[in-house]
Amino acid sequence: MTNPSLDDPQVFKRYDPEGMMNHLHRLPQLCQQAWQMALDFKLPPDYADIDKVLVLGMGGSAIGGDLAASLAQAEARLPIIVCRGYELPGFTDAKTLVIASSYSGNTEETLASFEQALKTGAKKLAITTGGRLKDLAQERGIPIFSFDYQAPPRAALPFSLLPILCFLYRLGLISDKSPAVAETVPLLEGLSSRIDETVPQSQNRAKQLARRLYNRLPVVYGAGITAEVARRWKTQLNENSKAWAFHEVFPELNHNAVVGYQFPEELASRIVVVLLHSALLAERTQLRYLITGQLLERAGVSYQTIDGEGQSPLSQVMSLVLFGDYVSYYLAILYKTDPSPVKAIDFLKQQLTKG
């Protein structure tokens, strides 16, 4: 059976009834909106008196913290840590800013760790659309960055990333990212116009890569500011495309993963490695990309390099994020599956309620 044509408008109507494509179109403007909302948000002055930032979250909400931490790493004077799970780290104290990020406000792992944080002297902030998290924060007078955007949590990424970056800036921890946002928004609009559903596959790199990944196992490599983008690609391929996918990070992968290219031999022809590259990466890291490509060729493993766009780290990261979102969307269409629902997660949550 042949898979769908990515140049047929009717295909998108058939397999995307909930309109995931609309969220991809809106991502650039959502970045602008989320940044402005965060600039206008009232932060308590004493929140600057901290020595660490702890982001609580899972899935599409946690990835914003991951990306923010990677973007802030080069200049932040304190650690920014993302906590995925039920347990609050033991180092949480009065010098900690705890940011609980949950799109729905009902993520059970995030709620469990946030409720533990309520028993500490930590400074606290919630990012959510509502749910139990918003109720808990309101009851205790904790600042709430509340937004109203109806979408799967992973499609609301700007609201879990840009506010954290903005708060770090306003607390004096990193430089003002307004110029980077001003560069990133039109750059993303331009990128989207080159890879959206109206651009034919012959001229559309995102559609071409999706074709290449069809019926293959994607493994995504990143480094530095692209390391967490690789995680984003992996999770988007899982949730949008309903496909197996994995990610690895330089330079660590050069100390183990490259040795594993040999067996099982039959996998070599079934894997496609995607290397997420940025011209801003360290020179030695970029050399590792080239040498790793040689090792992949020697092992008979197909690979492709995708470069970030723009001058700022934010534009490099977000251009790679958006490109990956489009690839995962097109791959879902090729698999004739709706990119929006996550039925396996829904089943898991239902079963957990019985436990």
Active site (catalytic) residues: 239, 255, 349
- Contact (CB, 8 A) for 171 and 45: no
Among candidate residues 300, 38, 287, the one with its CA nearest the CA of residue 143? 38
Cross-strand partners of 220:
247, 274
Sheet-wide strand order for 302-307: 246-249, 217-222, 271-277, 302-307
Give residue 144's identity as a one-letter amino acid code. I
**Residue 57, strand partner residues:** none
> For residue 58, what are its two tokens?
């899972």
- Angle, in degrees to the nearest 10, between helices 131-139 and 108-117: 10
CA distance 209 to 319: 15
Is the separation of the CB atoms in 201 and 207 below 8 Å? yes
Whether 272 contacts 220, CB under 8 Å: no
Q: How many residues appear in the chain?
A: 355
Any idea what DSSP says for residue 215? Answer: T
Q: From the CB of residue 205, how many other CB atoms can be counted at a distance below 10 Å?
A: 17
Cis peptide before 186 (omega within 30 of 0): no
Q: Which two tokens stand for residue 131?
A: 């749910």
What are the residues facing 56 on neighbouring strands?
A: 83, 100
User: From the DSSP assignment, how many helices (H) and strands (E) are in the chain?
Assistant: 12, 9
Dist. CA 262–CA 268, nearest whole Å: 8
Q: Strand, helix or coil at 335?
A: coil
Find how far residue 167's CA is from the centre of its chain: 19
Q: How far apart are CA 123 and CA 139, in angstroms?
A: 15
Can you state the angle between helices 20-40 and 313-334, rounded to 10 degrees?
Answer: 150
